[in-house]
Structure 1
């Protein structure tokens, strides 16, 4: 599912089953030593996928440790993103010489839990969600908007180290078919925050299938570099 959402410069792998055996480095194993089995399986499988992509890019396998926000720390010269939800795992990588940033996310194609929608969306987004749900009821649009924001944040944060709030991203999903489409977005950050144009100039893509929503954004090197205002 994931590869079809990303440009040719990005190497992506996904799976509906977990990796067999212990494929972690000792440093990674320590990160999830006290985690529940579900967390260990997710953590292990996405790293197995990521190292498969690294091998295709000619990069030797190394530990992929999370930073303080949980974002994977990639080897020099690579950008990437990983995601997992119940029944699905994915990883996408590219050479930094070709791509500025990548964000991917996967979520169940199910409505958000009660009370979450208001916490993660803007009023304008809720208006769009209502209209889209009437036209395309097979897509959980509230969950899709949440996933789109997660994808944007994953692409944005490693390059800027600026932590976005949900209210700072206004996303507009655009269906192109019954089960897929694109999305655009605007970011509103503090006046002295990073320039947003390098990211918002790019449109992302989304798709649904097998009960899963998958969203992706890859920013080519032709985009504007991140700069600070002021």
Structure 2
């Protein structure tokens, strides 16, 4: 994930200790008592990575509680994003005076079934990966991850929801970058119509990242 983000963004990827590190009291208080063990595990790792990324910026490791929608609530003057899948977890954090918003996402590098693929991909995206995009990597999974990153970067700016078909993603395989165009009306000013991101594909993972600079 480090290679997908500019130098103004600090990144921490979970090591073995992050998965068992206890959350701060302010964080633990926002984790549902009904949370299953897997949710508790990923919550611990995500918050541990967030605090470690803050220290990389020279900031104190402040708590990152969860909001009612389960999204991280970042400290004042800090923006960030957390992603986890299976045994991978990462957090990206930046100072709000340098970066307006961040979205990162990691997904297992697996083929999407047809119903999920149609839910994720617009018709022109399907045409692209059936044509010039080619079969490798699993492009629908790249589209899925890219749109997740776009949503994570978009939501803090406008507080609005985006569906998969509300965003059109255009990858550039040669550079590992993508352009994402938001196709729904948006409030003037707070969020751009076009966002730019990067992606990386390994045998196990698809990772994407979007940054909206200050």
State the TM-score, normalized to the length of structure 2. Answer: 0.91
For residues 60 and 205 of structure 1, what CA distance do their matches in structure 2 show?
29
Give the CA RMSD over aligned residues. 2.0
C-alpha separation in 2, matches of 1:59 and 1:15: 19
Cα gap change, 1:195 to 1:130, in 2 (>3 Å): farther
1:154 counterpart (148, 152, 168): 152
What SS does structure 2 have at the residue aligned with 1:203?
Answer: strand
2:192 alignment partner, SS class: helix
- Matched with 2:164 is 166
Alignment-derived partner of residue 216 in structure 1: 209
Q: How many equivalent residue pairs? A: 213
Equivalent pair of 1:17/1:87 in contact (CA under 8 Å): no
Give TM-score, length-normalised by structure 1.
Answer: 0.85
Q: Deviations over 1:88-137 (max 9, x none)?
A: 10100000100111000000111113411111221111111222553x52
Structure 2 residue runs of 5 or longer lacking an equivalent are none
Q: Give the distance between the partners of 2:189 and 2:184, measured in 1 at CA.
A: 8
Change beyond 3 A, Cα 1:69–1:32:
closer
Structure 1, unaligned runs of 5 or more: 222-230
1:40 match: 40
Give the 5 Å matches for 1:1-230. Answer: 2-15=1-14, 17=16, 19=18, 21-30=20-29, 31-131=31-131, 134=134, 136-137=135-136, 139-176=137-174, 181-190=176-185, 193-195=186-188, 198-221=191-214
Once residues 188 and 38 of structure 1 are traced to their aligned partners in structure 2, the CA distance between those partners, rounded to angstroms, is 35
